[in-house]
Amino acid sequence: MSKLNLEARMTIQTLAERRVAVREIARLLAVSEGAVRYQIKRMEAGAVDGRSGQTMRAEAVSEAIAYWRERQGDGPLNLAALHEWLAAEHGYTGSLRSIQRYWRRAFPAPAVRARRRVETPPGAQAQVDWAHFPRVVVGGERLDVLALHMVLSHSRHEAVVWSLGKDQLAWLDCHTQAFKRLGGVTATVRVDNEKTAIVRGAGAWGTINTSYRRYAAVMRFHVDACAPRQPQAKGKVERQIRSQRFSADPSTMCWRDLGELQAWSDEHAERAARRRRCPVTGETVWESWQAERRLLTPLPETLPEPFDVVHTRRVGVDALVSFEGRQYSVPFAHLGRTVEVRGCARTVQILADNAVIATHPRHTASRLVLDPAHYEGPSTSQVLAPPPLGRMGRRMQQLAHEPVVHRSIDLYAQLLEVAR
């Protein structure tokens, strides 16, 4: 006897109620007359199709299932783990399918909320995220490399910057390099809740990393953190990352250094932008970007060097500020002012009103780092210039900058003989 699907059974019921002959129903559905008669008899007897009227085997452990569901909370659903737990803890012998059927009936899926499609205006937003590529051959070694993707939400043009790390210095430096490739800065930058961006909490209520917040102030953009567990909130950059893994995976080639990989990546990004269509404008991504870049905020004349430590300090009467156990000089005209001290990769930058007023090498052996030029110049209305150095002071400065002369011990022995 042919097995009838739900549509065929409903058709038989409708035609039978209209008193259509069994032979005609069988001809229309291309089934046997016996199958039609059997189905009519079942309907007349009030039989229920399928398992909808049957007692489910999993109902015997319904309380245990409810307890497990409560313990899971909002975590990811894993009915295979539930089945294993029921078998181990409650002696359940039914199949995983029986658990799945029970779950669908007992806990129907909630209604799905429709999403409103909103397109971002030009220059308003960029989305940023990391992509990880393990075991890429760079300089003859297999290294884990990372790519920071920054995508303009309007034109879909992207910049990809490669790095060997994702610490605070790498995070800020890759931002700067990405902005340079895009030709400007967007009004907002949407980021994930990485510690280099959000140190506590998540989303709009998270606390922005101090270094990142001050970097954003200098570059003039607003940090827009995604809500947790919502990857669709930055879907444009997520799609670009997935696309790169198929079309521009660096693991398929060997690279002399990171610079060669970066040059190849820049060329690939331009080719892709000239080929792809922007879903908003209908033009190529490259053409849409040319129009959008005119609306981006221009880059600062002096780009901030990436920094991982930042403190505010008051300039002392000797024109020095303390930082990481050392003292650094600043121009004496800033005496008594509060300045910002940043620890960069190789330097210490000191800023007043977001402008760099002094730069020194970082992690020096000397605990006192001075620039003599910081003590020169005319007085101001509020700060008098320090008095000029005397002859002894100038000689001491000369000696401090002279290299150490290494002489043989025999020379000192000869001098001693002459003295005798």
Tens-place pLDDT, residues 335-385 = 999 999 999 878 999 999 878 899 999 988 889 999 989 999 898 888 888
In a domain, 337, yes or no: yes
**Both 141 and 289 in a single domain?**
yes
The full 3-state SS of 26-66, as one line of letters, equals HHHHCCCHHHHHHHHHHHHCCCCCCCCCCCCHHHHHHHHHH
Per mean pLDDT, which range of 11-20, 92-101, 130-139, 384-393 is the poorest? 384-393
368-369 and 326-329 as β-strands: parallel, antiparallel, unpaired?
parallel
Instruction: Categorize the per-residue pLDDT at 182 as very low, low, confident or very high, splitting at 50, 70 and 90.
Output: very high
- In this prediction, residue 403 carries a pLDDT of 66
In a domain, 237, yes or no: yes
More confident residue, 43 or 162: 162
Task: Decide if pLDDT at 51 tops 80.
Answer: no
Instruction: Categorize the per-residue pLDDT at 1 as very low, low, confident or very high, splitting at 50, 70 and 90.
Output: very low
- Last residue of a domain, which of 295, 329, 362? 295
In a domain, 51, yes or no: no
In a domain, 137, yes or no: yes
In a domain, 1, yes or no: no
**Both 171 and 317 in a single domain?**
no
CA–CA separation, 150 vs 161, rounded Å? 9
**Both 288 and 145 in a single domain?**
yes
**Both 207 and 165 in a single domain?**
yes
Amino acid at site 94: G
SS3 306: coil
- In this prediction, residue 208 carries a pLDDT of 93
In a domain, 398, yes or no: no
Instruction: Categorize the per-residue pLDDT at 11 as very low, low, confident or very high, splitting at 50, 70 and 90.
Output: confident
CA–CA separation, 374 vs 357, rounded Å? 10
- In this prediction, residue 369 carries a pLDDT of 93
**Both 264 and 364 in a single domain?**
no
Number of domains composing the chain: 4
Average pLDDT over residues 35-62: 76
Long-range contacts, 83-92 (Cβ 8 Å, 24+): 86/61, 89/64, 90/61, 90/64, 92/58, 92/60, 92/61
**Both 75 and 180 in a single domain?**
no
Averaged pLDDT score across all residues of the chain? 87
- Last residue of a domain, which of 274, 295, 316? 295
Whole-number CA gyration radius for the chain: 36
**Both 261 and 346 in a single domain?**
no
120 and 235 in contact (C-beta within 8 Å)?
no
- In this prediction, residue 54 carries a pLDDT of 61
Candidate ranges 52-61, 65-74, 164-173; pick with highest mean pLDDT: 164-173
Structure tokens at 123: 């220059």
More confident residue, 50 or 218: 218
The range of the structural domain enclosing residue 233 comes to: 125-295
Closest to 184 measured CA to CA, from 245, 100, 125: 125
Residue 55: other Cβ atoms inside 10 A: 8
355-361 and 198-200 as β-strands: parallel, antiparallel, unpaired?
unpaired
Per mean pLDDT, which range of 73-87, 98-112, 258-272 is the poorest? 73-87
In a domain, 415, yes or no: no
- In this prediction, residue 398 carries a pLDDT of 65
Structure tokens at 52: 């909808």
In a domain, 403, yes or no: no
Residue 20: half-sphere exposure toward Cβ, Cα within 13 Å: 18
% of the chain surpassing 70 pLDDT: 90
Closest to 95 measured CA to CA, from 84, 111, 106: 84
- Last residue of a domain, which of 252, 274, 295? 295
**Both 314 and 287 in a single domain?**
no
State the alpha helices, DSSP H only, in 132-257.
168-182, 210-219, 235-247
Eight-class DSSP state of 192: -
| CATH number, domain containing residue 148 | 3.30.420.10
**Both 78 and 205 in a single domain?**
no
Instruction: Categorize the per-residue pLDDT at 271 as very low, low, confident or very high, splitting at 50, 70 and 90.
Output: very high
**Both 276 and 165 in a single domain?**
yes
- In this prediction, residue 227 carries a pLDDT of 84
**Both 37 and 167 in a single domain?**
no
